């Protein structure tokens, strides 16, 4: 009986010792991971834009620190953050190719007609609730600057004359918040190296476009015929560029009769 009791006590003591050792080891490991998480968070830009797919920079720092996510998903941080994380984690971290947002509409004041005067709260999300907006073109920018207000990097400014948003490419990080928030879905992200943009979103037939906007795509297909790389197709009355084929030759820009196709980088730069 005494030997049995001694064995039980011995096992209990061993279990207690092992438990204490495990708790100490767990605490030390936890501290190390927490420190790494804090360091990763400090290296991130703090934009909390969610472009990485996680809930803010702290959420992304957590999964990176625990090895549950690759460290190269910070779109907003670009090369600068990739370099910091490379040094911190001891692995090569590559930033994705630089992207920028662009506005797929040029139908501002004097270019696109309105069907009524909107005097409500100046916000695109609100204005669209009134018959889809005041623009005759149901696909056009409403011009109340929701995208500008939600941009965490102040990369979007409203043009006082055209009442259209303009992207500052130096400040744009392609976080995608403006893309999500635009109720007309006329903001798109493209690789910065691409010079050519179709700045129209209308799916109306050409004759209807002409009635509503002087600078919209009329589906004439001249660009389709002139593109030497066959990079342009016509889909639902709207020109579309295959950027995998586009070489930025700019021939489509020069032949577009309504100037819908835009060269985002001047040829002399």
> What does the block give as tokens for 122?
């100046």
Closest residue by Cα to residue 128 from 87, 172, 186, 70: 186
The residue assigned the tokens 């918040």 is 177
Domains observed in the chain: 10-89 (1.10.15.40), 99-193 (3.30.70.20), 214-269 (3.30.70.20)
In this prediction the pTM is 0.77
Residue range 208-265, pLDDT digits in tens: 999 999 999 999 999 999 999 999 999 999 999 999 999 999 999 999 999 999 998 6
Q: Is 79:97 a contact under the CB 8 Å cutoff?
A: no
Chain CA centroid to CA 174, Å: 4
What pLDDT shows up at residue 269? 40
Sites in the chain below the pLDDT cut of 70: 1-33, 265-269
What pLDDT shows up at residue 268? 45
Q: Is 99:75 a contact under the CB 8 Å cutoff?
A: yes
Q: Is 150:67 a contact under the CB 8 Å cutoff?
A: no
Q: For residue 97, what is the DSSP state?
A: P
Q: Is 183:100 a contact under the CB 8 Å cutoff?
A: no
- Count CB atoms within 10 A of the CB of residue 251: 17
> What does the block give as tokens for 17?
């010792």
């Amino acid at each position: 009986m005494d030997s049995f009791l001694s064995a039980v006590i011995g096992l209990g003591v061993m279990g207690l010792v092992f438990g204490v050792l495990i708790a100490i080891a767990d605490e030390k490991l936890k501290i190390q991971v927490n420190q790494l998480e804090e360091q990763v968070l400090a290296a991130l830009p703090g934009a909390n834009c969610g472009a990485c797919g996680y809930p803010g920079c702290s959420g992304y720092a957590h999964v990176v620190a625990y090895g549950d996510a690759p460290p190269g998903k910070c779109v907003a941080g670009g090369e600068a953050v990739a370099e910091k994380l490379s040094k911190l984690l001891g692995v090569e971290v590559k930033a994705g190719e630089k992207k920028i947002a662009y506005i797929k509409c040029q139908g501002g004041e004097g270019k696109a007609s309105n069907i009524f005067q909107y005097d409500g709260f100046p916000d695109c999300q609100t204005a669209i609730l009134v018959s889809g907006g005041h623009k005759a073109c149901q696909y056009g920018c409403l011009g109340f600057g929701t995208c500008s207000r939600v941009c965490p990097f102040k990369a979007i400014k409203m043009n006082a004359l055209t009442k259209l948003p303009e992207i500052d490419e130096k400040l744009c990080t392609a976080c995608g918040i403006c893309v999500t928030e635009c109720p007309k879905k006329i903001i798109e992200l493209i690789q910065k190296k691409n010079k050519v943009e179709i700045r129209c979103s209308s799916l109306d037939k050409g004759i209807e476009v002409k009635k509503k906007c002087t600078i919209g795509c009329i589906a004439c297909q001249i660009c389709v015929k002139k593109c030497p790389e066959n990079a342009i197709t016509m889909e639902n009355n709207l020109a579309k560029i295959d950027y995998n084929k586009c070489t930025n030759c700019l021939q489509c820009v020069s032949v577009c009769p309504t100037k819908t196709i835009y060269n985002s980088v001047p040829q002399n730069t």
